[in-house]
Amino acid sequence: MSDCSTCSSGGSCGTNNENGLPPGMLQQYNLNQSTAEDNLVWIETSIIDDKLKVVDVSIELIGKLKNISDSRTIGIIIGDNDVKMLYDDIFAYGIDTLYHVKDKTLATYHPEAYADAIADVANRINPAVILIGGTSRGREVAPRVAAILATGLTADCTELSMNGRALLMTRPAFGGNIIATISCSNFPQMATVRPGTFPMPQPQIGRKGTVMYRQATNNDLKDIISSERKKVIESDISKAKILISLGKGIKKESIAVAERIAAKIGASVSCSRALVDKGWMPQNRQVGQSGRNVAPDVYIAFGISGSIQHKAGIGSAKKIIAVNTDPDAPIKDLCDEFILGNADQILAEMDKMLNS
């Protein structure tokens, strides 16, 4: 890639100080600070409601970094000129400097080229931390970036904290039975975080930052034959009075059965992380520490063993009923009623009874 950095907050390339920095840049930068103290966030964009927007998880990561670190927060955004309309929002949420890798061909998502672009900026600024949202795209890009930079990656973190320049990354481990806090001995330290893990920060309207342009040279882009955006049915499970929640102990065919039952009794269908990982249900239906916290009047868990992170999301439920074939399932310690039985068979029987 070639470097053609410039300031764009005012659309000017000029400088106004003896250090040769773009206008407004000096206040954001301590020139005696190690560049390895910066933190870098990939600002992922997507078409949402027919408009180009920054995905929420990128904003959540900016807010988290601002809460745990006093270092500069640098963003990287990839795309053509259309992403310029997002600059003000990105700065309002806390980005100090934004690298815009600008290329018409990158208006379309290419995982290899996006990873190259993020790694290129990382090599230029030498950040202490790189955070990427745990979206479907983030899961493609993050390992590639880590491989290029020859560093480690901690995926699906549920908490982040800083000890000096060291990033402490907390995530479920061993099938969700324990919560592990991990540190990386290499720099940059990389982590992905699932959407909804951290709260959205409040924007500071009118906050300014600096844009640095980078020109990508994409000599090896793959041809995209077709692309289809999957429609996700929105369902705010956090407001449901009755939740039928499904786990890895059910068959895929039982999801449709649960949806029919939910429609008849005024419930919503949620799930554990295992079904999201399988691609059976969308992430916005996931209950737990890396999903949504819920507080229904009745929570019926079918085939959910009850990992620590899942139980953390249902602690406010008024009544918990669990159906499981394992008499020692951890959820038994939390539920009000425990039914020892096959979740698929019981769902099918409930469906049959409601149809009769």
For 35-85, the pLDDT digits (tens) are 567 999 999 998 887 889 999 999 999 999 999 999 999 999 999 999 999
| pLDDT per residue rounded down to tens, the chain (356 residues) | 444 444 444 333 344 445 555 544 544 444 445 556 799 999 999 888 788 999 999 999 999 999 999 999 999 999 999 999 999 999 999 999 999 998 888 888 889 999 999 999 999 999 999 999 988 899 999 999 999 999 999 998 889 999 988 999 998 777 666 788 999 888 899 999 987 778 899 999 999 999 999 988 666 777 878 777 666 556 678 888 999 999 999 999 999 999 999 999 999 999 998 998 888 998 889 998 777 878 899 999 999 998 887 887 888 889 999 999 999 999 998 899 999 999 999 999 999 999 87
Distance (Å, whole) CA 63 – CA 67:
6
Q: Which uninterrupted H or E stretch holds 243?
A: strand 242-246
Distance (Å, whole) CA 324 – CA 284:
24
The encoded tokens of residue 307 equal 């990992």
Burial 247-264 (b: 16+ CB within 10 A, else e): bbbbeeebbebbbebbee
Distance (Å, whole) CA 273 – CA 282:
10
Q: Which uninterrupted H or E stretch holds 51?
A: strand 51-54
- β-pairing verdict for 298-302 and 242-246: parallel
Q: CB 224: neighbour CB atoms within 10 A?
A: 9
Helix, strand or coil, per DSSP, at residue 169: strand
